[in-house]
Amino acid sequence: MSDIFNLEDAFTMIEQVGLITNRVERAGQLVNQIQQQFSEIKIFNGQRVLYMIWRKPWMSAGQNTFINHMLSLIGLRNCVAAERYPELSASALTQLSPDFVFLSSEPYPFKEKHIAELQSLLPNARICLVDGEMFSWYGSRLLKFPDHQRSLLSQLNA
């Protein structure tokens, strides 16, 4: 399985890799650990988020992506209605009117300087850098997602 769109797909992929590598028991344990971690996750309150993945041109994670699924799991609503990874003009960005903007560390390595650039377009949004691995890497990396999400929630509620 190479098309991972949600957590269930990720669990299936982990189990399939366990089967291929003759590590079925370990794969099952990993899935159980991830499920336990996610059962204790803290969630947002339905705020609208714009998850940016690229600059020049601006691109975001849209619907029908693993990133979108992870955002919805933590109680956020993706304000981009387009599928997959659309390009967005400056005027399109301003019309989205997100509560939060997440600048991913990958594939484009957003830095602090990009916060000011987007803040001028989206003055009412809370903009922060996020670890792209936490939102887009499936497999054992998912064990770290709930702790990362708790830190993010604290940061944005400060």
Tens digit of each residue's pLDDT (9 = 90 or more) over 64-76: 999 999 999 999 9
Contact between residue 98 and residue 79 where contact means Cβ atoms under 8 Å apart: yes
Determine, yes or no, domain membership for 1. Answer: no
Note the pTM of the prediction, 2 decimals.
0.92
pLDDT higher than 60, residue 1:
no
Q: How many domains does the chain have?
A: 2
Residues 95 and 125 in one domain: yes
Mean pLDDT of the chain: 94
**pLDDT in the model for residue 43:** 87
Determine, yes or no, domain membership for 2. Answer: no
Condensed to tens digits (0 to 9), the pLDDT of residues 31-55 reads 999 999 999 888 899 999 999 999 9
Residues 29 and 60 in one domain: no
Residues 82 and 100 in one domain: yes
Work out the angle between the directed axes of helices 145-157 and 24-39 (0-180°, nearest 10): 20
Other CB atoms within a 10 A radius of the CB of residue 155 amount to 12
Q: Give residue 11's domain range.
A: 7-39
Average pLDDT over residues 116-139: 94
pLDDT band at 158 (very low <50, low <70, confident <90, very high): low
Residues 29 and 54 in one domain: no
Residues 119 and 138 in one domain: yes
Residues 129 and 151 in one domain: yes
Condensed to tens digits (0 to 9), the pLDDT of residues 148-157 reads 998 998 888 8
Condensed to tens digits (0 to 9), the pLDDT of residues 101-120 reads 999 999 999 999 999 999 99
